[in-house]
Structure 1
């Protein structure tokens, strides 16, 4: 069974085979219209959005993809330089992530005919389309961290 839900005025989520919590409002209308706020959506539009989000998450998912894109923002870098800037990434993982980003047209690998051969990696112009997402995630992450710190401070004051 598929549900389309809106939890506490957040975004529409697609849930399959899951338990619906008590504070969840199910927004399934008989005429195939879903309503969130003042907007109405058909189930086809919602399915399309879910598919688009899944595609984006597929491209950007993982521990290293976003930090890797951020590391390349300053310009072309060699493999070892990238590895040094991303503390903790193994060469095997870095190679895999670079290959996947290259397949998705976000990173370009350039081979220079020198002795020894030089290889650099750089962002493609298409990567500019991802930058607002990275900025928004960074802003939200900062806001979320501050919220959690404030809540913990408030809890600590309340218990004393």
Structure 2
């Protein structure tokens, strides 16, 4: 697909970009990958500090719908549900690892830029 196409409102790639650039999508996929590829819902919830039950449910459903996560229900009492990363999710997770490495390498520079921006005087209005 032509890269320019993704700038168009009706382009399907745009919906994919929207889904994969969500903060919780990144964190759920990288969590699954870093914990052996499979986790239960409450394990993920405890691991992901700050995520609500509702947001985790929505994120997992979206990832399952997009083929990045597999949901497996075991017929036990109570039912056991595992979430595992698929091959597609693994390949996306590799990209996320690269982004994470970049963020870790540059966090000090970004924090310094934020501090500089936040402490500088407001610009004078242009007449």
- TM-score, structure 1 length as denominator? 0.59
Larger relative contact order (Cα-Cα within 8 Å, sequence gap ≥ 6): 2
Q: Which residue of 2 aligns with 1:86?
A: 48
The CA RMSD over aligned residues, in Å, is 2.7
- Uncovered stretches (5+) of structure 2, i.e. residues with no partner: 117-127
CA distance in 2, matches of 1:143, 1:93: 29
SS in 2 for 1:64: helix
- Uncovered stretches (5+) of structure 1, i.e. residues with no partner: 1-43, 155-160
From the CA coordinates, give the structure whose radius of gyration is larger.
1
Q: Which residue of 1 aligns with 2:27?
A: 67
Name the structure with the higher strand share: 1
Aligned residues: 112
Name the structure with the higher helix share: 2
Q: Which residue of 2 aligns with 1:48?
A: 5
- TM-score, structure 2 length as denominator? 0.73
Q: 1:10-39, CA deviations, whole angstroms, 9 ceiling, x for partnerless residues?
A: xxxxxxxxxxxxxxxxxxxxxxxxxxxxxx
Residue in structure 1 matching 2:73, options 111, 116, 131? 111
